[in-house]
Amino acid sequence: MSVLFLFIVFFIVPLVIIPTWLIYTKAGKPGWTSIIPIYSTLVLLDILGKPWWFLFLFFIPIVGIGIGIWMTNLLSKSFGKGVGFTIGLLFLPFIFYPILGYGNSTYKKL
């Protein structure tokens, strides 16, 4: 069990949490907000320029998936990336979120 914990701490955290933290920071929001479960989605909605009540759409079964994909596309566009990058964020997030977080792309409010 300790090997699994060490794997999570040393591999998953830098691969997932730090890039997301950096994305929020690039968008002018505090990075720590990216690690609070529901609050991070509210902040992401603010980054994307959408109202807070969009959060409720995630609770509708099929609609929630579509909203998640659409928000990923908006995130990609807000950093000057295209549809191909959105597909990368959806299918290879462990590669494309670090590219977005560590890379030199800048946030542009939509």
DSSP string computed for 36-101: SHHHHHHHHHHHTT--GGGGGGGGSHHHHHHHHHHHHHHHHHHTT--HHHHHHHHH-HHHHHHHHH
| pLDDT in the model for residue 7 | 79
Burial class (CB in 10 A: 0-12, 13-18, 19+), 97: buried
Residue 1 pLDDT more than 70?
no
| pLDDT in the model for residue 19 | 94
pLDDT band at 69 (very low <50, low <70, confident <90, very high): very high
pLDDT band at 68 (very low <50, low <70, confident <90, very high): very high
Q: Kindly state the average pLDDT of the residues 27-42.
A: 95
Average pLDDT over the chain reads 92
| pLDDT in the model for residue 22 | 96
| pLDDT in the model for residue 84 | 96
| pLDDT in the model for residue 14 | 80
Nearest CA among 62, 57, 26, 28 for reference residue 41: 57
| pLDDT in the model for residue 12 | 76
CA 39, 43, 48, 49 dihedral sign is: positive
Structure token digits, residue 86: 């959105």
Residue 58 pLDDT more than 70?
yes
